[in-house]
Amino acid sequence: MEVLYFAWVRERIGLPKERIETDAATVADLVEQLRNREERYAMAFADLTALRVAVDQELTDFDAPLAGAREVAFFPPMTGG
Amino acid sequence: MRIEVQEAPFDFAAECGRFAEGRSDMGAIVTFAGVVRGDGMLSAMQIEHYPGMTEKAIAAIAVEAQARWALGDVLVIHRYGLLKPGEKIMMVATAAPHRKDAFEAAEYLMDYLKSRAPFWKKEQGAGGEGWVAAKDEDEDALQRW
């Protein structure tokens, strides 16, 4: 699936998106796999309360299932308007 | 309903003039523009967004507003990219038969655009640059709806 990062999450991880092959059942499982990859991921995902997630461009929770998902995005709380 | 997510500036006066023009059934039009405030040493604002999701999220907010209030039309324009103090970031316009619906729907749109549309602001100034943190009060503002 495509994994996208925005704002300071993108800066900390150092790339805007990447293709990841994963068997993660939920967003939380995917986060755990990413954290275990490298320090920069562990840093970016250190505090999940500071992050929001969208699956297939819909805001959701970290316990959301990933079955059939094509795109997951991680970002800080939004500051539009 | 019209949603525009764009890098280019928009002509606020022209958009206001065109909006719901000739709709004699619409007794009230409310327009709002958000402007980059030149606080302190702010020299520019970089706005990032999530192409694809942004348009969908704004449309969903506008559809919800249409379900809650008697609206004849809704317009949302939101920019991204590099903006200078004084530049307009975004605008909303609502048209309704009566003003209460137009005002409330415009406030609802603003409250939801602030914390549910995928935009992120980064301030640049003499002291460096930094991401604007979301405010608790913006999240709290959603509770009243």
Report the alpha-carbon distance of residue B98 to residue A15 in Å, rounded.
Answer: 48
Q: Which of B86, B114, B89, B91 is nearest to B2 (CA)?
A: B91
B50 chain-A contacts, CB cut-off 8 A: 4, 6, 54, 57, 73, 75
Report how far apart, in Å, the C-alpha atoms of B3 and of each of A12, B57, B107 are: 31, 10, 17
User: What ipTM does the predicted assembly reach?
Assistant: 0.95
Flag whether pLDDT at B13 surpasses 80: yes
For residue B40, what pLDDT is reported? 77
> What mean pLDDT, rounded, does chain B reach?
96
A8 chain-B contacts, CB cut-off 8 A: 131
Q: Which amino acid is at B30?
A: V
Domain ranges of chain A: 2-75
> Topology of domain A2-75, per CATH?
Ubiquitin-like (UB roll) (3.10.20)
Flag whether pLDDT at A22 surpasses 90: yes
**Phi-psi bin for B79: left (phi > 0), alpha (psi -120 to 50), beta?**
beta
Judge whether B79 and B90 are in contact, CB under 8 Å.
yes
For residue B39, what pLDDT is reported? 80
- The string of pLDDT tens digits covering residues B16-63 is 999 999 999 999 999 999 999 988 788 999 999 999 999 999 999 999
Do the chains contact at B53 and A73, CB–CB below 8 Å?
Answer: yes
Domains in chain B with CATH codes: 2-15+26-39+51-130 (3.90.1170.40)
Interface with A, mutate which of B109, B111, B119 (most A CBs under 10 A): B119
